[in-house]
Every structure is written in structure tokens, then in C-alpha cells.
Amino acid sequence: MSGAKKLYIKTYGCQMNVYDSERMAEAMGSAGYVETDTPDDADMILLNTCHIREKAAEKVYSELGRFRPLKDARPDLKIGVAGCVAQAEGDEIMRRQPLVDLVVGPQSYHRLPQLEAQTRTGARALDTDFPLDDKFEALKTRGPKASRGPTAFLTVQEGCDKFCAFCVVPYTRGAEASRPAARILDEARELVDRGVREITLLGQNVNAYHGAGPEGSDWSLARLIWALDAIDGLERIRFTTSHPNDMADDLIEAHGTCAKLMPYLHLPVQSGSDRILKRMNRKHTAESYLRLIERIRAARPDILMSGDFIVGFPEETEDDFQATMDLIEEVKYGYAYSFKYSTRPGTPAAERAQLDEDVKTDRLHRLQARITHHQRAIQDAMVGRTLGVLFEKPGRLPGQMVGKSDYLHAVHVADCPLQPGDLARVEITESGSNSLAGRLVSPSGA
Ligand code: 5AD
Ligand code: SF4
């Protein structure tokens, strides 16, 4: 493709940003761009940013500064900022960083080609509206598509109405909105035609999904999962991320009855102290969360739980922190993401007295040590079991392949005759620092 312009996208933050970056690359493909994996020869650089914690946002400004020599050398280079920092601080980015030609918020990605055209006239472009048209429908590219790897993300729901006191998402991604089921199913079939075997449904509050069904009434996430289950060639379904209060009965039941729905659930709790949960505006208690997990485990006993935790939220005492440690002890997470509370301007908790950084750091270390202990024990307990593995790519050693188990652990198999996209039964023989190793039991029928 001689003459094509080159687009370099750098993605920060969550999986939804990964999905959005793919959509933006496709949209810019229609505008004559091909993707490149280095900023050095790019005609356009796009940072797809994350605003969830302070450090994430600061990284964007320092990264932008690093592009100055490139822009000095090639004044035609266009630099754009997308994502949640763009949404929250669009005007400030324009003021603070004259290098930036374009700012586009997550709800306006379908307008990216027009905005890029605007920058070609020498103007700067800013779009952080919340338009009502269907962004994903408008982002759809027509014509044949290249084949792709065996796993894909698919956004089904965006935004959040929960307003946890620490969180910027309801402000940057807007109100909860679900895509119509038929559009999601079309996109899933197309992904499967392109070689995808596993789809992770994405949403900031994915289990609150309530998109229009083909016959008019709203579908729940479970209903959508069952419709995806019927697609031949699609082997695995996952979803993330969920709020405990939206874990509906039909979704819990699907974990027990839908064979394609993987035994893994990311269900953030944030804290184990009712006092702090109330101040966080989480609208659930530690007890209600634990009872919920009991019900989920009754439906699917081997489910692997994953969670998010915030330590050092305003007013968190040592007793509150101990309550979080107790909850962790009871649930025994296979994975967890833990963070020191970070003040986000414009959120209710930002106005409150903040804890010392040292206290936060100490609690984070203690919490992470406990989680790591459980994570290790759970991973080690896979040795001797035979698990389904979806192979994704060759490993570092000759003949080796790497895939993911049903529980999302990386699994290495030596002398493996299979290809990316193959699903097989693997007997786990070893548990390493970050992955498992095993041998093929049967190359099919996982
Ligand atoms: N400070 C620290 N962690 C946060 N998260 C969201 N907002 C903040 C904040 N202000 C964490 C929560 C959420 C995850 C995506 O990020 O744990 O579940
Ligand atoms: Fe943020 Fe999740 Fe709370 Fe929504 S439910 S406000 S996305 S932490």
C-alpha cells in the first residue's frame, strides 16, 4: 500500500480502550491510514488515555512531551489524544500542550476521520460531546476484513450510573448505555468468521447490560450470552467488569449451565468494611457480597474469583483495612487488582481528608502479599488437573505453544503440533512463577 499514511496508537488503561483503539484504527483505515508499531515513522500519533487514577493521567502529559522532537522534525505529524483524559481534560490538554492537534472523547470516535481532515487544514480539533447516534454502528468498516487472533474483546455496554464516590467513569464515559443485541451478535459472527474462538464481552458495568432484543423487549446479559452460545465456532465467552448489585439470577444460573461461559468472574468489592463501603457509595455490604459469591459458587463450584481493591480510602482505619483482609481470606481470589486510593477531581471523595501516603503504601503491600499467597496456591493446585486450553501463539522455545486455560492462566506446552486458535485438553504438570506447563492429552474436544 504505497502512499498510505501511518497511524501509531498507544493504548493505556482498561480493555475497553484496547477495543476502542482497534475500532479507531479501522475507522482511520477508511481514511487511508495503516497502523504502524512505532511513533518514529508515523503521520499521526494517537494516545488512547486512561483517567482512572492520577498517575495514569500524568503519564499522558509526560508522553506528549516526548513527541516534541518528532514534531519538530516533521511539522506535518498530527498528534491526537483520545480516551478518558481527553473527555475529562480536553480544554486543558489543548491549553497545556500546543503540540496536540486533536482531542477526541470516547463517545465521538466515529467522528475521528472528519476531525483528522480538519487538522489537515491547519486547525486544531476538539470533540468531547456525548452525541446520541450509535457510535459503534458508525465505526463499522465495510468490505472484507483480515483474519485475526483467536481472542477478541467486544463492547456491549458503556458508561455507569453507580457513582462510586472515588470513580471518574460516570463522568468520562457517561450514563449506562447498552448496544442492541442484534448488532452485538452480528459483530460476534464476523469475529468468528475471522478466526476468533473466544470473546470477552466488555462494559464498565457489563452485567447491567439491558440492550434491545430483536423482538423489541430488552435482553439481559445472560440472554445475550445464551444467544452467543448458539454461534458455531465460538468456543468461549467471558465478560468484564461487573458490579455485585447487578449479578442477576439468570446470570448466576448461566455460570452453572452454559458450557461456553468460562469459570472465571471478575467481581470488584473495593473494601471489606461496611463503614467504608457506605462512604464509597457502593450500595452493598461485605456480607451481601460474600452471600452472593456463595450463590455463584453453588452454581459453579470451581469458579475462579477475581476482584479490585482500593486501600487508603478517606477515613479508612486499621480496623476497616483488617475487614478487607478478612474478606480476602474468605473469598480466596485467583486474581486481584489493588490500588492506593487516588484523588480524582470532581468526585465526592476528593473533598474529604486524605490518608498519609505511607499508610496507603503499607496497606497495599500487606494486601498484595495476601492475594499473591492465595493466587499461588490456586495456580499450584492446577497441577495434576486436565484443563481446556485455547492456544494463542508460539512460545519462546522452538516447538512450544502458549495458550490460556479456562481459568485464564497462561499454559505452555512443549513440542506442540497445534496452531493458534486450536483448543485442546492439557494435563498440567508444572506451576511456574507466572504460568503453568503441561502436556497435550487430546488435541480436540476440550
Ligand atoms: N483510586 C484508586 N483506584 C480506583 N479505581 C477506580 N477509581 C479509583 C481511584 N480514584 C479502581 C477500582 C476500580 C478499578 C477499575 O480501578 O478498584 O474497580
Ligand atoms: Fe466506577 Fe465501577 Fe463504581 Fe461505576 S461501578 S462508579 S465504573 S467503580
Q: State in Å: Cα 242 to ligand 2 middle.
A: 9
pLDDT at 247 over 60: yes
pLDDT at 364 over 50: yes
SS (H, E, C) 310-348: EECCCCCCHHHHHHHHHHHHHHCCCEEEEEECCCCCCCH
Q: What is the pLDDT of residue 130?
A: 84
Chain centroid to Cα 423, Å, comes to 23
Cell of residue 93, nine digits: 490538554
**Ligand 2 pocket member 205 (CB < 6 A):** yes
Could you identify the atom of ligand 2 that is nearest to the CA of residue 243? 5
Average pLDDT over residues 346-355: 95
The residue assigned the cell 451478535 is 185
Secondary structure (3-state) at 200: strand
Q: What pLDDT, in 10s, does the model give residues 305-338?
A: 999 999 999 999 999 999 999 999 999 999 999 9
b/e map 120-158, b = 16+ CB within 10 Å: eeeeebbbbeeeeeebbeebbeeeeeeeeebbbbbbbbb
- Looking at domain 386-442, its CATH architecture is Beta Barrel (2.40)
CATH 2.40.50.140 residue ranges for the chain? 386-442
First and final CA of the chain: distance in angstroms? 41
Q: What pLDDT, in 10s, does the model give residues 100-150?
A: 999 999 999 999 999 999 999 999 999 998 876 677 777 776 556 677 899
- Looking at domain 144-380, its CATH architecture is Alpha-Beta Horseshoe (3.80)
Q: 5-127 maps to which CATH number?
A: 3.40.50.12160
- Cα–Cα–Cα angle for 52, 54, 58, nearest 5°? 110
Confidence band for 446, pLDDT divided at 50, 70 and 90: very low
**Ligand 1 pocket member 339 (CB < 6 A):** yes
CATH 3.80.30.20 residue ranges for the chain? 144-380
**6 close to 36: Cβ distance less than 8 angstroms:** yes
For the entire predicted model, the pTM comes to 0.94
Could you identify the atom of ligand 2 that is nearest to the CA of residue 161? 4
pLDDT at 1 over 70: no
Q: What is the pLDDT of residue 221?
A: 98
Q: What is the pLDDT of residue 117?
A: 94
Mutate to test the pocket of ligand 2, among 84, 205, 270 (most ligand atoms within 8 A of CB): 205
Confidence band for 55, pLDDT divided at 50, 70 and 90: confident
Q: What is the pLDDT of residue 30?
A: 86
pLDDT at 444 over 70: no
Mean pLDDT lowest among 35-39, 417-421, 441-445: 441-445
In this structure, the residue with its CA closest to atom 1 of ligand 2 is: 167
pLDDT at 216 over 60: yes
Report the distance separating Cα 330 and Cα 270, nearest Å: 15
CATH 3.40.50.12160 residue ranges for the chain? 5-127
